[in-house]
Every structure is written in structure tokens, then in C-alpha cells.
Amino acid sequence: MARMYPRLGPKPTDSLYEGVIYHALKQQLPSNDYQVFHSVSWNASIDDQGEADFVITHPDHGYLVLEVKGGQRIYKEPGGNWISEDKNGYPHDLEEDPYDQSNRNSWAIQDHFRDYLLTIRGETDLPKVVIRHDYALVLEPDIDPTSVLREEDIKRTITGSSIENIGSFVEARMAGMQWTDREFIREDRELLLQWLGDFLDRRVKAETNFKTKASEVGIFFTDQENELLNQELEFLIENTRINVTGGAGTGKTVLAIRAAQEFAKQGKRVLWVCFNELLAESVAETLKDTGVRVHYYESLRKEAVGRVFPDQVKPLFTYRKNDDQETEAHRQDVFEDAVTTLFDDYATDCLIIDEGQDFRRRWFDFLRELVTPDESERHIIVFQDNNQAIYRYELGDLGELGFASKKLSKNNRNTTQIHTLASKLYKGCRYKGSGIAGSEPQFRYLDNWEQRDGAVTDIIHDLLGQGFTKDQIVVLTGAKAWVRDKIKENSNGLLERFTERGEGQVGIETARRFKGLESDVVILTDANNLMWSPDTENDDGAEKTVYSTVTRAKKLLFVVDQEKYILRLRTMLKT
């Protein structure tokens, strides 16, 4: 099934027949590699404006412009003029030959896309690119026998009596536009078409508010998540040691949860461990009736030490700024002694580690010792993304331990706009965006920090007025917990700490504590505090923190801060 824009149905136009075509394309095109944009318009100047009824893209073929002409009869006069008769039989002159119009529109899109690459994306090497493209015509009536058409135009035409074949018609037209690897390799074609999709979606007639766009996006993400599970889950279940890597939003936690559920159904003991406390709480709620033991690493250590050495819990787990490696080593020593004493209670068949990039190697090596030696029963799966290694522990190469490698290569969480923003900071093998267009990130500039709390609540009230619910929104501060609490206090009860929020409240949390979670809408403030790292000037810790934070937003991202800090952030993001 094709991916449609707008997702909730065709745009209101004067042509009801365009709605028929919209639904026919949606049902008949065979896969979501086909993206269909309805009513794409541009208005660069008085002399340069127009609209294409449908633009269909495919990463292997480019794009096809479809011009739709409805009516009772459409014909070409001997003099070359085109006439359309409406349902009442009244004739109307068409301003332009529809084939010429469709061809002109296909080239206009090419020209405007080049401008977009240069002026919006700053891609100075790509404006010379010519994407393969073609055009075709959809006529509601059959071709009038009085019309004298070129053979080429007849081949470009499908009529209402054959509309049940429009999918195969489009496939056949686009098959003749095949790109070759000599022009672009598949990965580059997909990226270029992703940018083209972003460009076209900007020109689909404007939505009335953010909520409309967000509703469309949600439908797409459900489909993509199901597709991910179907493709990858079997591989995880069949292998005993796997290192799964992928960028933010590629579905690591989703797969980690589903793998735990599958192993539990088989009657196996499952230990699920991550780094972040809030992520562990969320996963524990999801897995609460499965028998899976869920911990963040520190809670696992506290539990074991508390059972064997209760008097050491407070001194060991009261952290201080001057904690050093020796202190951490002692903490781990006591934990390992406690678990060894209660080994049978902590032994497991399946170990699943999420946020593996935040685990010290010693932690990981000890957890592996808890897994049964029976090769027919044991499973160890690690999920990690070194681009989010904000604590700089990093497990290193697991291949030397016999771990198979699995790379997740598609973002299934963030809209194209958010993925594009964050991917400027991504290092390593590039991964594809979702291809799901949403709204552009919103930057709200403040004159001074005293305006911050009021600006945040104003945005929330505006979103609620548009139809968002409070549980779809989260406020993140790049600063410390005391700043979070200060913003909360100034909200007149609207905001509450994320884990303590009530039914009528919006959650607020520090960006670092929210790592690993997601929200439809993220309102980020105090961004300047994210752009700092305790390490050297050349350290990329700040970029990793920003990358990890902005990707928490699934559908819509707001950044609220003073102008100098937003400009600094946008410089980092190259936007």
C-alpha cells in the first residue's frame, strides 16, 4: 500500500474525481516505497506558480506527475484547443494542453527542488542533480474519438473506465525511469528521495494546525513499528549472542521488549537491564505480567547489596561529585559479592541489555556470568548506539566475544524533519529516515530567561487548544533537577515531574533523565546546558547529548530559549 500525503484523506479541491484517484492509488500501489503527494503547489512569483494534482515518488525511479481531468467529456479541437464538458454538458476551455501542463509541472518541481537543496539544506554539490521524472494524464471520461492525439500521449493516459488498473499503469510508467548505480547508489537515491519527499510535503496545501499533521504521522509510525517487528524479531530469537546497533528511533527498545516477551512465553528466565531509571520504569510497566525481571543497572545493584549487606546501601550509593574510579570499583565489588551469595536468585537464561553504550565493560562481563551455560537455552542480546554514549563508558567490540552483529538501518520513531535535524550530529554508518513528513521544528526566541516559564505554558495551552492531550506532551530542560522543579512551581499546577504527573498534568523532566523515552511532542528549554561537556574541548559529548535529546520528539519539537543559545544550537545542528 502506498504512503499518502495528506494521510487522513485527499485535500478538499474543486475536483471530486481527485478523491477517487487518491484512494485508488493508495490501494493499488504495491508498497510504501511509493509515496503519493496530493495537491502540490508552489508560488515563487507571479510568473512562477502552479500546482500538480499528484506527485508520486519511488527511490528506484524518481517521480511521476499525474494531472487529473474530470468531467463528462474532454476533447481536443482540430485547432489544438482543449475543451472539458461538465456533468451538465456545459463546455469549458482548458487554459493549457493538459500534457504540456503536466510536463511543465514535472520540470518546475525539478527546478524548485534544486533551489530547496541549495537554499534550505545548503547542499551546494547537489543542485546540478536531475532526478528521473515523467508525467501522465488521468481522464475521467474515455479518450474522445474526435481528438487527434500523438501516440506518445495516448500511452501516457489512463481513463476512468480503466481506473482499477491505475496502480499497474503507474508502475509501468515509472519502471521506464529506472536509475542505475552509475548515477546514484541505492542509499544515496533513498536519501535524495527522502529530501524530495520533505520538499513536496512542504508544498502540500497547509494544515490548519500541528494536531492535524501529528494525527497523520501516528498512523504511519504504527505501520512501520509492526513492519520492524516482523522483519527483525525472528533473527533475535534464533541467535544466542547478538549485538544490535542502530541510531535513535530505529526500534531498539521496541525489539528488546518483544524479545523479552517471546522468551518469557517459552518459559525461560529473562533479565532485562538498561541504564536509565525512567526507561526501566516504563518497560517494567509494559512487562509487568510476563515474569520478566526489569532493572536499571543501579537498581539491580542496590537490590542485591540491600539483601546481603543492608548497612552498606546508603554509603555505597550516595554519590558525590568527587567519586573516582576506585569508589566505583569498590561499589561493584560489593555488588558482585552479594550476587555471588544469592547466585541462584539472579541466574537467568536470557539477558537483554538496552542502552548498552552506557554500560561499563566490567558491568557487562559480570552480567554475562549470570546466564546459564546451556547453549540450547542461553541468549544474550545487547542493544546500543554509540552516538548516545553520553556517559562515555562504551562496551567496545563484542565481536571478539562471538557476538553476531545486527544493524538497524531505519528510523521508525521520528518524522523526516526531526530525523534530518538530528542526523547532522550522527557519526558512523548513515541510517535512513522514516520518510514520514511532519511539521518543522519550532524555535521560539526569548529576550531573557525570565520569559521562559510563561513561554512554555503558552505553547502547552496552544497545543491543548488544537486537540493534543496532556499525555502527548513533555517538557524537557537541559539544566539540572532544581531548574526542572522551578519551572514546575511556576506553572500553576500544569506541570509535574514526569513520573508523578496526574491525569490533568503535563510531564516535565531533565533531558538526561528522559533519555531512552519518547513523546509525541517535546518542548525543550535551557538548551545551552546540553551544549556543554565535562571533557576536553574536542570531546563530542555535547553533540551526543543534543542528539539524544532532540530525538525524544516523535512528531513535533519546540525549542524555547534565548536567541543566542538557539543560534548556537542551530549552528551545531547546521540548520
pLDDT confidence band for 148 (50 / 70 / 90): confident
CA separation, residue 92 to residues 69, 73, 295 (Å): 12, 10, 71
pLDDT for res 142: 84
Evaluate whether 348 touches 359 at the Cβ level (below 8 Å). Answer: no
Residue pLDDT, tens place only, 114-127: 777 766 556 656 65
* Dihedral sign, Cα of residue 408, residue 369, residue 295, residue 319: negative
Question: What does the pLDDT average to over 236-246?
Answer: 90
Expressed in percent and rounded to 5, the helix, strand and coil fractions of the chain are 45, 20, 35
pLDDT for res 208: 41
Whether the bond between 12 and the residue before it is cis, its omega within 30 degrees of 0, is: no
**Domains with residue ranges and CATH for the chain:** 3-206 (no CATH), 217-412 (3.40.50.300), 442-573 (3.40.50.300)
Quick one: what percent of the chain has pLDDT higher than 90? 43
Least reliable range by pLDDT among 226-235, 263-272, 389-398: 226-235
Question: What does the pLDDT average to over 338-348?
Answer: 96
pLDDT for res 557: 95
Evaluate whether 367 touches 338 at the Cβ level (below 8 Å). Answer: no
Q: Does 538 have pLDDT greater than 50? A: no
Quick one: which H or E segment has residue 271? strand 270-274
Give the mean pLDDT of the chain.
Answer: 85
Residue pLDDT, tens place only, 270-307: 999 999 999 999 999 999 999 999 999 999 999 999 99
The vertex-181 CA angle with 175 and 186, nearest 5°, equals 80
Order of strands across the sheet that contains 241-246: 293-296, 270-274, 350-353, 379-384, 241-246, 404-408
CA proximity to 464, closest of 116, 280, 214, 203: 214
User: Cα(179)–Cα(61) distance, rounded to whole angstroms?
Assistant: 6
pLDDT for res 46: 38
For residue 532, give the amino acid letter. Answer: W
Question: What does the pLDDT average to over 335-364?
Answer: 96
pLDDT for res 17: 82
Q: Does 534 have pLDDT greater than 60? A: no
pTM of the model: 0.64
Q: Is residue 500 classed as helix, strand or coil in its secondary structure?
A: helix
Joined together, the cell numbers standing for residue 562 give 534565548
Evaluate whether 193 touches 58 at the Cβ level (below 8 Å). Answer: yes
Q: Is residue 321 classed as helix, strand or coil in its secondary structure?
A: coil
CA separation, residue 388 to residues 275, 366, 384, 424, 512 (Å): 12, 23, 8, 14, 11
User: Cα(25)–Cα(56) distance, rounded to whole angstroms?
Assistant: 9
Residue pLDDT, tens place only, 3-42: 888 765 666 555 678 888 988 998 899 988 899 998 887 7
Evaluate whether 424 touches 573 at the Cβ level (below 8 Å). Answer: yes
Q: Does 182 have pLDDT greater than 80? A: no
End-to-end CA distance of the chain: 33
Q: What is the DSSP string of 218-255?
A: HHHHHHHHHHHHHHHHHHHHH-SEEEEEE-TTSSHHHH
pLDDT confidence band for 397 (50 / 70 / 90): confident
For residue 569, give the amino acid letter. Answer: L
pLDDT confidence band for 564 (50 / 70 / 90): confident
Evaluate whether 286 touches 275 at the Cβ level (below 8 Å). Answer: no
